[in-house]
């Protein structure tokens, strides 16, 4: 029997363990063009919270009673699809379960870039693409810019820091607590902001960026976004990637410095990583080279076993991870 996590009720506010149930399934026989995959690594990502609401959005909501989905890396154990053989490693979206049966065209063989398998769920996967295209394409960050990124100890933010440094930018990251800030600094950040420390965030940011910021990569919204308005230089560009601060609370956000948009001619641009799927080749080439040159290091917070999937997910919202949050099966 295979096992999969199902969404049993929609969270109101912060998700709780009771929203999910781990169920057993008879494993189906394999149809033509299908593969059976034993999952090795499962991803949890903040965007999954949005799919738990029953609202029209850029990805359809998870269905009640149905298995959850999400990024996963696994090994093919049975194939009825041309081009896929047993022991091939694949990346796919049928996560939150130990065994997946899926059409082969929904799986992608891992490129041979000489990195650990789970990197394709992190800095060489969706979070990495989010960092790469958000920084370079959406915010048009370039050599010499000062870049500020929030949630810099997360999977996306920590990659933004490293790409910024590899490309000759000044990088400033915010994270919660001295330990995470030290880790962000160890990635090469020129300055860090501990958002949990005393004193207003705007004060801490303007001290950390005495010459202002040219780019803000927003993962959290709220007070961080407001501080970025205050610290921005003329014509600064903001890539609006996430607002994890608002995913669960549904509370309105209040801004004191929003009028800077006019006086400083700021540009804010929301984006979704899937808009950049057609440029995946460029991403692998550039990031693969950086990885080979030792310019990308990865930290992972790993939970062991499928039973821990929900704990891993909930940990995203309590700052429980340093780097990429993963479940290893």
Where does this chain bind its own copies (CB under 8 A)? Answer: 50, 57-58, 221, 240-243, 246, 252-256, 258-272, 275
The minimum distance between CB 191 and its own copies, in angstroms, equals 23
How far apart (Å, rounded) are the C-alpha atoms in residues 312 and 328? 11
The minimum distance between CB 10 and its own copies, in angstroms, equals 17
Residue with smaller CB distance to its own copies, 97 or 224: 224
Other Cβ atoms within 10 Å of 178 Cβ, number: 12
How far apart (Å, rounded) are the C-alpha atoms in residues 128 and 182? 21
Residue with smaller CB distance to its own copies, 185 or 268: 268
Residue with smaller CB distance to its own copies, 50 or 188: 50
Residue with smaller CB distance to its own copies, 30 or 258: 258
The minimum distance between CB 238 and its own copies, in angstroms, equals 8
Task: Name residue, tokens 């010499």.
Answer: 144
Which among 245, 303, 311 has a CA at the least distance from the CA of 16?
Answer: 311
How far apart (Å, rounded) are the C-alpha atoms in residues 54 and 65? 13
The minimum distance between CB 75 and its own copies, in angstroms, equals 34
The minimum distance between CB 293 and its own copies, in angstroms, equals 32
Q: Rounded to whole angstroms, what are the CA distances from 319 to 144, 149, 165, 179?
A: 31, 16, 24, 12
Residue with smaller CB distance to its own copies, 20 or 238: 238
- 8 A C-beta contact, residue 181 and residue 194: yes
> Which residues share a beta bridge with 218?
240
The minimum distance between CB 260 and its own copies, in angstroms, equals 8
The string of DSSP letters for 153-199 reads: TBHHHHHHHHHHHHTT-EEEEEESSHHHHHHHHHTT-SEEEETTSSS
Residue with smaller CB distance to its own copies, 22 or 253: 253
Residue with smaller CB distance to its own copies, 71 or 221: 221
Q: Rounded to whole angstroms, what are the CA distances from 83 to 19, 40, 75, 86, 93?
A: 38, 21, 14, 10, 19
The minimum distance between CB 59 and its own copies, in angstroms, equals 9
Task: Please give the span between the terminal C-alpha atoms of the chain, in angstroms, as a whole number.
Answer: 15
The minimum distance between CB 294 and its own copies, in angstroms, equals 33
- 8 A C-beta contact, residue 306 and residue 98: yes
Residue with smaller CB distance to its own copies, 266 or 316: 266
Backbone angles phi, psi at 238, to 5 degrees: -115, 120
């Amino acid at each position: 029997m295979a096992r999969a996590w199902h969404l049993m009720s929609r969270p109101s506010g912060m998700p709780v363990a009771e929203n999910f149930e781990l169920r057993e399934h008879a494993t189906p026989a394999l149809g033509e063009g299908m593969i059976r995959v034993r999952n090795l690594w499962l991803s949890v990502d903040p965007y999954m919270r949005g799919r738990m609401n029953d609202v029209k959005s850029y990805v359809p909501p998870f269905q009640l009673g149905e298995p959850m989905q999400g990024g996963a890396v696994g090994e093919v154990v049975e194939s009825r699809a041309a081009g896929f053989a047993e022991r091939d490693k694949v990346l796919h979206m049928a996560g939150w379960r130990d065994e997946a049966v899926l059409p082969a065209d929904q799986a992608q063989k891992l490129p041979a870039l000489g990195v650990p398998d789970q990197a394709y769920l992190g800095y060489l996967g969706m979070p990495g693409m989010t960092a790469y295209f958000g920084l370079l394409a959406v915010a048009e960050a370039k050599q010499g810019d000062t870049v500020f990124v929030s949630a810099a100890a997360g999977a996306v933010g920590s990659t933004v820091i490293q790409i910024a440094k590899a490309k000759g930018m000044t990088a400033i990251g915010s994270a919660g607590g001295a330990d995470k800030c030290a880790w962000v600094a160890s990635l090469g950040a020129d300055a860090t902001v501990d958002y949990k420390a005393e004193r207003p965030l705007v004060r801490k940011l303007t001290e950390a960026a005495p010459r202002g910021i040219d780019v803000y990569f927003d993962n959290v919204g709220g007070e961080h976004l407001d501080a970025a308005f205050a610290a921005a230089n003329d014509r600064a560009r903001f890539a609006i990637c996430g607002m994890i601060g608002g995913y669960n609370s549904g509370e309105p956000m209040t801004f004191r410095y929003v009028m800077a948009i006019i006086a400083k001619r700021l540009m804010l641009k929301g984006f979704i990583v899937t808009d950049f799927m057609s440029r995946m080749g460029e991403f692998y080439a550039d990031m693969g080279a950086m990885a080979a040159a030792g310019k990308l290091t990865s930290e992972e917070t790993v939970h062991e076993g499928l039973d821990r999937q929900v704990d891993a997910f909930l940990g995203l919202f309590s700052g429980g991870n340093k780097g990429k949050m993963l479940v290893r099966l």
